[in-house]
Chains A and B, each alone.
Chain A
Amino acid sequence: MGTVPEDLTRVPDLSSTGGLHTEEMVLNVGPQHPATHGVLRVLVSVDGERIVRAEPVIGYMHRGHEKLVEQRDFRQITNLLSRMDWLSGINNEIPASLAVERMLGLEVPRRAQYLRVILAELNRITNHLMFTGSFGLELGATTPVMYAFRERELIQEALELVTGGRMHFGFIRPGGLKEDVPRGFVDLARRGVRQLVAKIPDYEDLLMGNEIFKQRTVGVGCLDAALALDHGVSGPILRACGIPYDIRKADPYLVYDEFEFDTPLGAQGDSFDRFWVLVQEMKESARIVEQALDGLPEGSHIGAVPKRLTLPEGQIYSHAENPLGELGYYLVSDGGNKPYRMKIRTPSFSNISVAAHMLRGAFVPDMIAILGSMFFVVGDIDR
C-alpha cells in the first residue's frame, strides 16, 4: 500500500457545525447515472456535499469473456475481445493475435504490421476524442463533445472504409489482417488526422484555456504516483502522474520502434493533467499515423497461416498499450485449437480500483470531474 496524499485523506471537520449533530447520507450513484457513462455504481457517503467514503461497485456488465473465449478457436476470439473496450476494438484485438503469432512463431508481413499500427492509432484517436468530448459534457460544457464528434467522424469513416464496422471491427487475424486496405484509405486517413491536428488548438482554447475549467480540474483528484503503481494503474492516467510507462516504448511490439513519437507526461496527476495528457496523446498518435502512412510498404496483408490453427502446449503473456492503459492476455494452451484458459487484464479494471482513494474528501461535483478523468469503459471493467 502506498501512502494516500494528505489532502485526500482529510475527513471533513465536523466541529464547524457548531456541535450540531449531523448525519451522513448514503448517495447511490448509478448504475444508471449520466456521469458514470455505463453501469458503474458508486456508493458514496456524503456529509453535505463532501464525500466521506466512496466505494465503486462493479460487475453490472459482466459477460464472462474469459469463459467465452475458451469455447472459440483462435480466429474467433478476436471478435469477442473487441467487445470489451468497445471504444477501441482494434487495440483489443492486436495483443490476442500477437500471443498466437508468438506461440506459433508466425511471420507477419511488414505491410500488415504497418497497417496494424495505423489502425490501432486511428482507433486510439477515436477513443481519446470520445473522452475529450464527454469530459467537457460532465463539467457542464456541452459544446466540446459536438466538436470532438465532428473530428471523430472522419476517422471513423476511414476505419469503416477498411473494416466495414464502426465499433466492433473484427479485422485483426493471427498472421496479419482480414483484408488489405481499399483504395482511398490512405488519403482519407491522412485527411482525418490532419483535420484533427488542425482542430486540437480549438479544444485547448475552449476547455484547457477556460478559467472555469481550470478551477474545476486543477488540483482536483490528485493521484499519487506510488499509489497509482500499487493499484496497477496504467495508460494516460499513469503518465499524468509523471511516470513514463508506455508499452509502445517500454516493450515495443509491431513496428512501434520504427516511429518517432513522444510520451506526454503530467506533473501532479490531477484531473487537468489527465485531460492534458489525453489531448497530447492524440497529437502523438496523429504523428505515428502520418509516419506509417508515408512509409507504408507494399506486400501481402497476411502471412502464411495454417488452415487449422492449433497452438503448441504452453503459455504466454502478451500485452499492448491500449488507449486506456495496459491490456494483457495471459494465454494457456493445452495443444488444442482453443485457449485452455485466458486471463484478461484490462486497463479500466485496474484504473478504477484507485477511484475509492481519490474520491475520499472530494466534493460531489469533484466526483464527476474525477470519474470523468479516469477514462474508463464499463465493458472494459466488467468484461
Chain B
Amino acid sequence: MVTTLHHILANSIVLLALKLGVLLLLLPATLVVGYVELKVMAHMQHRLGPMYAGVYHGWAQTLADGLKFIQKEDIMAAATDRTVFSMVPFITMLGAALTFVVIPFSRHGVIANLDIGLFYALAVSSISVIGVLAAGWASANKYSLMGGLRAAAQLIAYELPLVLAAAAVAMQAGSLSLVSIAEAQRYVPFAIWAQPLGFLIFLAAATAEVSRTPFDMPVAEAEIITGAFTEYSAMKFAFGLFAAEYIAMIGMSALAATLFLGGYVPLFPFLRFVPGPVWFLLKTALIIFLLIWIRWTFPRLREDQLQKFAWKVLIPLSLVNIFVTGALKLAHLT
C-alpha cells in the first residue's frame, strides 16, 4: 500500500499536477487575503466591514465581488491597443505568481528548489511592472500613461534596496537557495538576529514593489485615478489589478517570511511537532497583516520623495547592512 502511494507520488505527471495545484490555490488565496484586508481595515476604522454576503460576517464578500466583475461589460476605448491591453492581466498575474515556484512550504514542499532561488524570485517579481507600463501605454489615456511611467520610475527606486537587503541574507545564510536560507534560521530568525535592519529595508521596499500605501503612487486614485488601470473594467480589472496586487502581496510576504522569519522552520524547538506549512502560513500572514496595517495608517508619499527616500536613505543603509554582515561573517561572530 505504502509502496503504491510512493509509486504514485513519484510519478512525474502526478507530481506536476500537484505542483500546479499550488499555483491554482493562489486565486482563492487572493479572495481570502482580500476579505481579511476588508475586515482589518474596517475594524481599524471603527466599522464592521462586510457583514451580509454569506451571512456569517460577510465571509463571501470578495467572492461576490469577483462574480460581480464577471458580469460586467468588458469595455475597451476606441483608441486602445487591444492586443497589448488584453495581454496585461496575464503579465501582471504571471509575474506575481511565478515567485511561488521557489518558495518552500516545508522542507520538501517546494515546486523547484533552485540553487539560485532567491535570484529567481527577485527577478520574476519585477515582471509585473512591464504589464503596468504596457497597460499605461495601451490604454490611450493620459492618467494611465502617468501611472505606467510612475510604476516604471518606482521600480528604479525600490528594486535596489530590495535586492541589497536580500543579498545580505544570502551572505548570512551562505546560499541562494530558499530552502537553505530557511534552514539557516533554525530557531533564530534573521529578523531578530543578524538582519533586523535588512528586514525593515526589505519590508519598505516590498511595500513599494506591490504598490501599496505609502508607496502607491502608480495607482493613486485621488491623483491619477488608479493610474495604469483607469480604462480597465470587468474581469480584466479584477485580474490585472486586484488579483495581481494580492498575489504579489502574498508572494512578497512569503518571500519576506522565508528570508527573515525562517519560513517553514519552527520558531522554538519545543514546537517542532507543528508542521512546516503551518509555520510558513502563520509567518506569511504576519507580514501580510503588517502590510495591511501600514496601508490603512499612512498617507501617500510623492514620487520624487520616494526616490529621495530610496537613494538617500534605503540604499546607503542597505550598503551599510551588507558591510556589517560581511564584517561580522569574517569575524565569525554570526
Contacts and interface: CB of A to CB of B under 8 A. Distances in A.
A147 B304 CA distance: 30
Given A25-B142, A147-B46, A34 B298 contact: no
Interface stretch (A190-198, A236-244, A258-266, A359-367): A359-367
Contact of B299 (A27, A213, A363): A213
B45 interface: yes
A150 B296 CA distance: 17
B44 interface: yes
A331 interface: no
A35 B298 contact: no
A139 B41 CA distance: 17
Contacts of A367: 223
A143 B221 CA distance: 15
Given A142-B45, A146-B45, A212 B222 contact: no
Interface residues of A, number: 31
A139 B300 contact: yes
A35 B223 contact: yes
Contacts of B300: 139-141, 212, 216, 365
Nearest to A137: B222
Interface string A360-383: 000111111000000000000000
Contact of A364 (B146, B214, B296, B297): B146
A138 interface: yes
A33 interface: yes
A210 B46 contact: no
Counting chain A CB atoms within 10 Å of each CB, the highest count among B213, B217, B223, B225 belongs to B223
A141 B45 CA distance: 11
A354 B81 CA distance: 40
B225 A34 contact: yes
B222 A215 contact: no
B299 A141 contact: yes
Nearest to B226: A34
Contact of A140 (B46, B146, B220): B220
Contacts of A207: 299
A364 B217 CA distance: 11
Nearest to A363: B302
A272 to B, nearest CB: 12
B142 A49 contact: no
A212 B298 contact: yes
Contact of B213 (A35, A140, A365): A140
Given A34-B221, A140-B222, A365-B223, A215 B302 contact: yes
A368 B214 contact: no
B46 A146 contact: yes
Interface string B128-166: 000000000000001100100000000000000000000
A364 B213 CA distance: 17
A210 B300 CA distance: 11
B305 interface: yes
A136 interface: yes
Contacts of B299: 136, 139-141, 207, 210, 212-213, 216
Contacts of A150: 46
B222 A368 contact: yes
B45 A143 contact: yes
Interface in B36-79: 41, 44-47
Interface in B216-235: 216-217, 220-225
Contacts of A212: 214, 298-301
Nearest to B297: A143
B303 interface: yes
Nearest to A220: B302
Interface in A318-335: none
Contacts of B142: 25, 27-28
A138 B301 CA distance: 12
Contacts of A137: 222
Counting chain A CB atoms within 10 Å of each CB, the highest count among B298, B304, B305 belongs to B298
Nearest to B213: A140
Interface string B18-50: 000000000000000000000001001111000
17 contacts: A27-B143, A33-B225, A34-B225, A49-B303, A139-B300, A140-B222, A141-B300, A142-B45, A146-B46, A147-B46, A206-B297, A210-B298, A212-B301, A216-B301, A364-B146, A364-B223, A367-B223
Per CB-CB distance, the 8 closest pairs between chain A and chain B, nearest first, are A140-B300, A146-B45, A139-B299, A141-B299, A138-B222, A35-B222, A365-B302, A140-B299
Interface of B: 41, 44-47, 142-143, 146, 213-214, 216-217, 220-225, 296-305
